[in-house]
Chains A and B, each alone.
Chain A
């Protein structure tokens, strides 16, 4: 029995350490590659800065000095698109989630009740984005929304809403209604009760929604590639573009990639518990 337990522990550690290595090594490789001179990269793999190659910061200097304007502009574009759609998704998602949790709806024509409406909302999330390529191309070029921050914010909000509604509905379902009830009895309007009592209690749900919306918008590629061409280009499109501009410069791409994933990876490191709870609400209870 005792031996069995030791063996199991050994096996567990072997598995998690191996996987941790598989997860972390690529990031380490990005970091070291960003510190290598081009010749050192093309000569074949070297592993330890200062031991089998001499580290240099020239690519990072290039990224933040020579390329400063371009780097910051794309970073700003990503930030605007992601933040804008996050704010909208949180507001719209919280409102709809609250509605679906506290009121009962009945759409006569479709004979849909709350469950059907919620299911229809989440099903939008799983439609292939490729379906929208053509209509959005035509629509955006007619409305002059191509290559604008606003255009990206609108489409990302559309993609973020289903998950936002789903998570918030689940969150409000687990939040007892007593407090709002007493506020309503005391003469507060429904809107006041929502804003002053419900929302402040919903921070964990709102944070989860904000994380998902932000990360999705930050990482999104297909629409950013399709709907932007200069002014509003986001970080993923900038990185993908490194493929052909001047040949693949791995040292520079590594620095740029690390810089690009830093915000979302930091979110993952520090807000892990919200992500887990949000995913659970989104996937399991559905």
Chain B
């Protein structure tokens, strides 16, 4: 279909704008960021430049550019406990979030796959949190998980009463580190379970009905037909949605920003938030760039391990199916 001279030109015309945008605003900044991470560049100059201004030396640093090439940003990391804390938090958000969202998302998809009256209305309702602005979801979460004034607190405080006790129970949803991390995962899950549900539901609807009928004839229980039919068939799409959600949670910042601001201390801070603060609050561009590469490495390691695990599981699942 492409052979004419016009087509040889046009095929470049069609693709070029997208490629140009990505080269200019994704690949180029990526390398710039990597370069910056090996310098001492800060907001409004660099450490080298400041020293030079004190000694009135004009052409300083690497090639006289006004900054030095250094590995200190990476050397500094090994003693940066906040980096380890934020990396640990991020990994917690990713793993716990993905598990909760996958399990609940799958259950809801199974429910929505039943024929029942009002199914389409429920499907639309379930979608809504996904459209909500994450910052708004954060505020909503803060209102829902207020330890004293939320409906949830109201419910929890009434529980001891059912057992004739008059104990006063509050849960520090967003005020102690461990609880706050869990609460943030719950808020993120409220928002993103719809994504899992929607895609897994589409996967379920593509499963041929005959398979279940045949299994029923063979006397399989619902439980068995789930593990032998539904789960293996949905495995590829499960891998995709888990990977996408995992990669998305690595970027988490909005919800944390409005719920805890990273606190108490750095107990709920994510890597993205630490990078943001390093660059904007502390003005240390070079170190922020270096940490962002740590995040990239984590993301790549996560995807690689996950995909190879998924390959192993799907190989086993197909064996079971046979």
> Which A residues are within 8 Å of any B CB, using their own CB?
8-9, 12-13, 15-16, 19-20, 22-27, 29-30, 33, 41-45, 47, 91-93, 95-96, 98-100, 102-105, 117, 121, 124, 126-139, 154-155, 157-158, 161-162, 165, 177, 181, 189-191, 194, 215, 218-219, 221-222, 225-226, 235-236, 239-240, 243, 250, 253-254, 257, 260-261, 264-265, 267-269, 272, 275-276, 279-280, 283-284, 286
B108 and A283 contacting across the interface, CB-CB below 8 Å: no
B131 and A267 contacting across the interface, CB-CB below 8 Å: yes
Give which listed residue, A16, A41, A95, A155, contacts B15 with CB less than 8 A. Answer: A95
A44 and B275 contacting across the interface, CB-CB below 8 Å: no
Q: When A243-B261, A257-B140, A279-B198 are in contact, do A222 and B285 touch as well, CB less than 8 Å?
A: no
A-B complex: 3 closest residue pairs judged by Cβ atoms: A99-B14, A96-B18, A135-B29
Distance, CA A96 to CA B19, complexed state (A): 8
Residues of B within 8 A of A215 (CB): 131
Residues of B within 8 A of A190 (CB): 6-7, 10
Main secondary structure of the interface of A (DSSP, over half): helix
Residues of B within 8 A of A15 (CB): 107-108, 111
Distance, CA A240 to CA B29, complexed state (A): 27
Interface residues of B in 121-137 (CB under 8 A from A): 122-136
Give which listed residue, B111, B154, B292, contacts A134 with CB less than 8 A. Answer: B292
Distance, CA A102 to CA B244, complexed state (A): 27
Q: List 14 A-B contacts (CB under 8 A).
A: A19-B108, A27-B128, A30-B140, A99-B11, A102-B2, A124-B26, A161-B18, A190-B6, A221-B253, A239-B133, A243-B258, A268-B124, A268-B131, A283-B244
Q: When A103-B2, A161-B18 are in contact, do A260 and B254 touch as well, CB less than 8 Å?
A: no
A235 and B133 contacting across the interface, CB-CB below 8 Å: yes
Interface residue? B179 (CB, 8 A):
no
Main secondary structure of the interface of B (DSSP, over half): helix
B114 and A8 contacting across the interface, CB-CB below 8 Å: yes
> Which B residues are within 8 Å of any A CB, using their own CB?
1-2, 6-7, 10-11, 13-15, 17-19, 21-22, 25-26, 28-30, 32-33, 36, 41, 107-108, 111-112, 114, 116, 122-136, 138-140, 143-144, 148-151, 153-154, 190, 195, 198-199, 202-203, 237, 240-241, 244, 247, 250-251, 253-254, 257-258, 261, 271-272, 275-276, 279-280, 285-286, 288-289, 291-293, 295-296, 299
Residues of B within 8 A of A181 (CB): 1
Residues of A within 8 A of B108 (CB): 15-16, 19
